[in-house]
Structure 1
């Protein structure tokens, strides 16, 4: 492997230094003093062109077998266990290659480039050595000096499988950032002089291009004039040149949007460097050879976020990667930001979405609009907002934001919850723990997926015991939303299911990437039957739907639930109101957003105007209006559940509780409109916590569930009373 002289290394050689100070950071996270085997050196390429590796060292006086030890790139679980009986002599080295192969001395994962973590577990399962790294220069390694017991330092010449060199580089101090800014991040209306200060005895180095301050960065000596949009990063520095963790502030001029603003800050090389930049085409991409553009990789790079909103500002640090499938090819790319670590699983401790009280997140997604980019811009988000809080499956909350990238306007994005393990657990109120995640039709239909141990579905009687491993309400809602949406990009793709390994929840389903639903790009018209694709894919690859649909009880439950959603969740009046509100939120931004990007994309976007955007919204409105009647016809033709007959339900409430129809909440206790005439609708009176259901005012002795026949009006009052504990509290 060629050892390249980076700018940092050239600076060191020019100064004749054997030891220098770098902006990279390495922090030992756990260390067992009694462990004979430790992590001694790691090498991370960052571009997938060279093998990453981890070197272990035996610091004991006797030989040690490595069989049963485990390496990981996620300190919360043992990723890969050594199966072969490698014997490590005293003072010996053993290198494991991190290439994802999972065989012999090739581990089953790849290291995160530039920044990440590495851990070593003993055969007993204890974490005996670990460290995190951030800002590691390419072609350098991170190793202990002296071997086995010393601190980690950066080495310009990696020494794979042999003793580390004394010539090394100290890393950025892991202490906090004692730099004070005279002004917080925010929107600015007039130029000002920025004052930076540090405790006595420390200097300050700063940058204004997004890069981390280093020994060669400008030295602060006088107030810095800020008269245009600027990101400032500053680090305290000791007289010996040791750098502290940097602080970052974003100052935006001329930004008058009413939307929240997210300032994304990272070193420019992390974005644009031809070999390691995640936004760059890369050498092969520029030459037009193959599909190896940098942005196709899931490389993660350090990032800082400044969130600016009238509701309150906050900051977060983490790692960022390009997100998505085909939408990665857009010049405005989606960005996934991970703000989680072993010490702080939820790096964002703020509320992100109006109406959602949750205030802890392990990451977020800045979504470019996917296939709806520059068309409707929020077709997927509209469908999530439409069903959020009304379905049992997992949805992705949304709010529109304006993004700046290293101080440059980067357009309109959808701020979304990133559907990763810790966020999923938090939204269900569960502690951090391992989960099983199935991603894609192949995994969902595999022998490890939700249907792996599912017995045959009976054609008569109760189907639910066959679905014992699944959350049935979540399944019914998930299939109902996807089929009503008419999403043609499903179920072969864009399908995810998960569950905690502890058994705390049954299999759950995640709605995502609905850009082609509601007659989006290459979508289905409102009158197209969405069930044909499920019948064409029997078994797990078709979500067992065709097998379940042979059971009449399942057909009743699914069709009745979907029918209630059509009168409530998908009701045209409600859906159009939500669509108009969402369009109103972003309408003031669309002209600027379109002008920012239409010149950078294909000819079909070059002549895009806000008028075209409005026309695309009208196409979406047309689907909203036509789909309910069309779906009723489809349900009858496909399942024989009868033509449309009006249902009329009006339930008042006495005391605290709610009314559900087929598991769907009736906010005002009403259900009006056409449903399949061959289906009864099941109403449920559900008491609030601390209350009990006492009965129906007009139907003494009837339990909390009652069936309503279409064509026969139902009107009554559900009575809820405090339970005994509630009365005692009162």
Structure 2
């Protein structure tokens, strides 16, 4: 038989049987002494072989548990601790028999175990946390940490709470059990003290860091009920800070969460959070909020911003912090603002390209409403994408010293005056510069006042804020005694929650009067909106759909408003019951006296275009994945029998009649007279050399259920309402033509937005009738 390969070597001869026997005996001895591991093996395999195993594993149990600590390699001594200390040759008990853990309302046991080998020394430390019959409706968090890492006089975090940076980060092990007592995660991490002034409190806040050096670069777990993001680089365990159980303050542990819920209702910038009962080395540490941390990873995950300037209170002598990027752009902008009169339309227009004004207005007004004492001179978190067109936006984070927290946030707080005063002793000129200068512009001032009355009438109205308070309180109420037992307070929590409700009831009228006095307005008068006299539909005021009808709100005298009658799907507007109002669906008027508005609607005939007949499937901004340069939009025809797209328009204007941003109008091209159902219409928005070459002719043949229209070919009119070019954050609206060539009787068909304050109701379309919402 011919062999294939190299010739046999004398060094490769089969060894004698006695040699094999001796080798096997040596291997057995080495193996039993823990000096040999199966090979080949990764480091993780070797570590696992040396690690003690807990049986049953850590987690939640509703009964007594007997825990065994076992080791695959029997020739070793196991030592364990129950107080967070790392077992050593002299620290910890020698494991000789199973540990009996008894159930109880606060029975949390942490076990750290380690195997010691006579020849090689100690193996790795393993940790387990057992929640035995713990009485809670909240998620549970166990932090296992060496006590010296917290309390050592030289290097302890809690003995040096003001220290910051990587040098003051310590390794921990985190176990999480969800509110249904199911195992969540068990993960190594780093921990630091978090916060500002609250670092000195007995109940500190903590920041968690996930790094490769600890074992895992990220926490991958659906920690929050909302959102698709389930991977985290950092998290914050927030104690409530000023709003925590201490001394004689009217604390609630709720203020940040109530504000966050309000902000989310209008699509503002705020992170997610959830309450949890936290234990450190088995000892209750009270109720915390697990919160997303605002950092460069947060911006990338939530907003797709890979390169950002992220600042905390720029210009503040004691609070300025640059978390990402740099401060150069902001300093350039503030210098421009200082040296220009923003009443000048050109100067104002430039600032409007650098600042997301809708975001700034909402952010400021909610802070004013909440009487946030610890704001402007600190806790001003802002960011911008470091890209052309990147605008500054603001982010809600620290609102615990607000909503009536004694003694500096009373319901009578004149926060507006502090915002407008360059000499305010707490804030000063740098903190208030941007808003003060913007308010020099009459158009911005009207915009600011109009949004203030809208929010005070809707989002910040007593019924809505109290609903959020009650929702948060109901989640905490069954467990709030755990907080008080750990951090006693003389102020009953239930009384403080009622203080919140009292604040919510009284605050809107107080803030409204502050605006009246600050701007010399003629007061605020009630406007009443009745249910439709006929048919079905709603009313929107300044683009905000009223929550129900009949409804009444208070509006500033002398400030213009816009009222829109919004038909329900299948209906059309026919006029107002009050004949003096005329027959237009959109009313623009300046408030002077109390007034009533009653719309009329009737069923629309089947020939009338309806919301959803065509939907905006996708908006691609600077997306070259389809081989298209610049921006493009995909539409889909859904109406049975197809549609006549001639005269329809796609716009990024903020209202139906506006012409400041632009529209693309479908031209009177015969091929658009009948576009079949299920046809996809690709609208190439950006004129570019590459697109000129690729789309020399439009694809107007719908045989394959696809049309392609390029802005440079004539089937799209870009001159009647020029400057259509969507950017991130824009709202896009598709409208069908009305009976005239004017824009005001166009019919809203579909709406899509990601972060814009523009609403479907701005275009006379109900939210539930719009495919993009």
1:205-230 deviations in Å (ceiling 9; x for gaps): 54332234456555656433333531
Structure-1 residue corresponding to 2:188: 317
Unpaired runs of 5+ in structure 2?
1-42, 423-427, 577-582, 602-608, 616-634, 639-676, 680-773
How does 1:86-485 map onto structure 2 within 5 Å? Answer: 179-200=52-73, 206-214=80-88, 220=95, 222-227=97-102, 229-235=108-114, 240-241=119-120, 246-280=125-159, 293-297=160-164, 299-311=168-180, 312=182, 313-340=184-211, 347-374=218-245, 375-428=250-303, 430=304, 432-433=306-307, 435-442=309-316, 443=320, 448-449=329-330, 451-452=333-334, 454-455=336-337, 456-459=340-343, 461=345, 463-485=348-370
SS at match of 1:492: coil
Q: Secondary structure at the match of 2:84?
A: coil
Give the 3 Å change call, closer, same or farther, for CA 528–381 of structure 1 in structure 2.
closer
Over residues 52-103 of structure 1, what are the superposed CA-to-partner deviations in whole Å (9 max), with x where a residue is unaligned? xxxxxxxxxxxxxxxxxxxxxxxxxxxxxxxxxxxxxxxxxxxxxxxxxxxx
Distance 2:361 2:280 in 1: 41
For residues 424-447 of structure 1, the C-alpha deviation after alignment (integer angstroms, 9 at most, x for no partner) is 33222x165454323455249975
Determine the structure 2 residue equivalent to 1:42: none
Distance in 1 (CA, whole Å) between partners of 2:549 and 2:164 is 50
The alpha carbon displacement at 1:260 in A equals 1.2
Cα distance change of structure 1 residues 358 and 631 upon mapping to structure 2, 3 Å threshold: same
Retained in 2: the 8 A contact 1:444–1:541?
A: no
Residue 157 of structure 1: aligned partner: none
Partner-residue secondary structure (3-state), 1:673: strand
Q: Match for residue 580 of structure 1?
A: 470
2:354/2:389 contact within 8 Å kept: no
What's the counterpart of residue 15 of structure 2?
none
- SS in structure 1 at match of 2:187: strand
Does structure 1 conserve the Cα–Cα contact (< 8 Å) formed by 2:173 and 2:187? yes
Does 2:508 match 1:628? yes
Q: Deviations over 1:697-729 (max 9, x none)?
A: 4489x9998746653526477952223515255
Q: Residue 499 of structure 1 contacts residue 507 of structure 1 at CA under 8 Å; is this kept in 2?
A: yes
The two structures, once aligned, show a CA RMSD in angstroms of: 4.3
1:452 aligned counterpart, secondary structure = helix
Q: Aligned equivalents of 1:444 and 1:559: distance in 2?
A: 31
Tell me, what secondary structure is at the counterpart of 1:566?
helix
Partners of 1:309 and 1:264 lie apart in 2 by 15
Q: Distance in 2 between matches of 1:327 and 1:414?
A: 15
Does structure 2 retain, via aligned residues, the 8 Å contact 1:192–1:226?
yes
- Bigger share in helix: 2
Q: 1:246 to 1:528 in 2, by over 3 A?
A: same
| CA displacement, residues 305-335 of structure 1 (integer Å, 9 cap, x when unaligned) | 1111235422332211112222222211111
Check 1:623–1:459 CA distance in 2 against 1; reply closer, same or farther (3 A cut).
same
Partner of 1:512: 397
Give the SS at the match of 1:531.
Answer: helix
Once the two structures are superposed, the pairs formed by residues 23-62 of structure 1 within 5 Å of their partners are none
Q: Does 1:571 align with 2:452?
A: no
Distance 2:270 2:343 in 1: 32
CA–CA distance in structure 2, aligned partners of residues 659 and 234 of structure 1: 66
Paired position in structure 1 for 2:450: 560
Moved more, 173-182 or 369-378: 173-182
Structure 1 residue 376: Cα displacement: 2.2
SS in 2 for 1:542: helix
Q: What SS does structure 1 have at the residue aligned with 2:410?
A: coil
Alpha carbons of 1:709 and 1:662: their partners in 2 closer, same or farther (altered >3 Å)?
A: same
Task: Go from structure 1 to structure 2 and tell me whether the alpha carbon gap of 1:223 and 1:500 turns closer, same or farther (over 3 Å shift).
Answer: farther
2:379 paired with 1:487: no
| Distance apart, 1:235 and its partner CA | 5.0
State the alpha-carbon separation in 2 of the partners of residues 461 and 636 from structure 1.
Answer: 26
Rate the CA distance shift 1:294–1:438 in 2: closer, same or farther, 3 A: closer
Task: Give the deviation of 1:640 after TM superposition.
Answer: 3.6
Per the alignment, do residues 205 and 502 of structure 1 end up closer, same or farther by CA in structure 2, a change over 3 Å counting?
farther
CA contact (8 A) 1:179 1:236 kept: yes
Cα pair distance change 1:225/1:427, threshold 3 Å: same
- Counterparts of 1:619 and 1:676, CA distance in 2: 28
| Distance in 2 of aligned mates of 1:526 and 1:354 | 33
Between the aligned partners of 2:47 and 2:527, the Cα distance in structure 1 is 65
Conservation of the 8 A alpha-carbon contact between 1:371 and 1:521: no
Shift in CA distance, 421/590, structure 1 to aligned 2, threshold 3 Å = same
Measure, in 1, the Cα distance between the counterparts of 2:127 and 2:590. 63
Whether the 8 Å contact between 1:659 and 1:686 is mirrored in structure 2 is yes
Deviations 1:579-623 (A, max 9, x none): 12322332333334223223xxxxxx4xx153xx33333332222
C-alpha distance in 1, partners of 2:378/2:470?
Answer: 30
Deviations along 1:255-310, one digit per CA (max 9) or x if unpaired, are 21111111111111111111111012xxxxxxxxxxxx445545211122111123
**Kept after mapping to 2: 8 A contact 1:457/1:466:** no
- For 1:435 and 1:243, the matched residues in 2 are separated by 46
Unaligned runs of 5+ in 1: 1-169, 281-292, 599-604, 688-692
The 3-state SS of whatever aligns with 2:372 is coil
Are the counterparts in 2 of residues 647 and 709 from structure 1 also a CA contact under 8 Å? no
Cα distance change, pair 196–509 in 1 and its aligned pair in 2 (3 A)? same
Given candidates 459, 479, 483, the residue that maps to 1:593 is 483
Q: Structure 1 residues 239 and 454, CA, compared in 2 at 3 Å: closer, same or farther?
A: farther
CA distance in 1, matches of 2:369, 2:480: 28
| 1:498 equivalenced with 2:383 (yes/no) | yes
1:569 alignment partner, SS class: coil
Indicate if the aligned counterparts of 1:661 and 1:682 stay in contact, CA closer than 8 A: yes
From 713, 720, 724, the counterpart of 2:597: 713
Whole-angstrom distance in 2 between the partners of 1:362 and 1:327: 23
Count residues in correspondence: 531
**Residue aligning to 1:536:** 421
Q: CA deviation at 1:237?
A: 6.7
CA, structure 1 residues 501+436, in 2 after alignment: closer, same or farther (shift >3 Å)? farther
- Matched position secondary structure for 1:720: coil
Q: Distance in 1 between matches of 2:86 and 2:308?
A: 34
Q: Which has the larger radius of gyration?
A: 2
Q: 1:447, 1:239 → 2: CA distance?
A: 60
- Helix, strand or coil at the partner of 2:367: helix
2:511, 2:233 → 1: CA distance? Answer: 39
Distance 1:641 1:244 in 2: 75
Could you tell me how far apart the structure 2 residues matched to 1:319 and 1:685 are? 56
Please tell me whether the aligned partners of residues 441 and 493 of structure 1 are also in contact (alpha carbons under 8 angstroms): no
User: Deviation string for 1:144-179 (max 9, x for gaps)?
Assistant: xxxxxxxxxxxxxxxxxxxxxxxxxx9998889865
